[in-house]
Amino acid sequence: MQFCPECKSLMRPIKKNNKTVMGCSCGYTKKDVSKPIVETLEKPKEVEVVSDEETLPITQAECEKCGHKEAYYWLQQTRAGDEPETKFLKCTKCKHTWREYS
């Protein structure tokens, strides 16, 4: 893909005088299309998920499995962006994990 140097819009291949040229809706055309257009994309950076429980905050919540009253918690977007985040809890004693919806 290439962007127009005049208006910065995306240029597209168009036919002009029985030749394919790169053109823009503003009227700009790139005359030399003999060289293929190549764009190198950077590989997305990998995200490391930290699951070290010692870094998670602790809240008062009763474990549904062992009845312990403290749990680690974290928030995660699991539904549409206009919906609230889901709160995940993990018992500090038995490590049972559950979720709460807002």
Catalytic positions are 82-83
What is the amino acid identity at position 11? Answer: M
Edge to edge, what strands does the sheet with 19-23 contain? Answer: 2-3, 10-16, 19-23, 29-30
What the block records as the tokens of 27 is 């009227």
- Helix, strand, or coil here: 53? helix
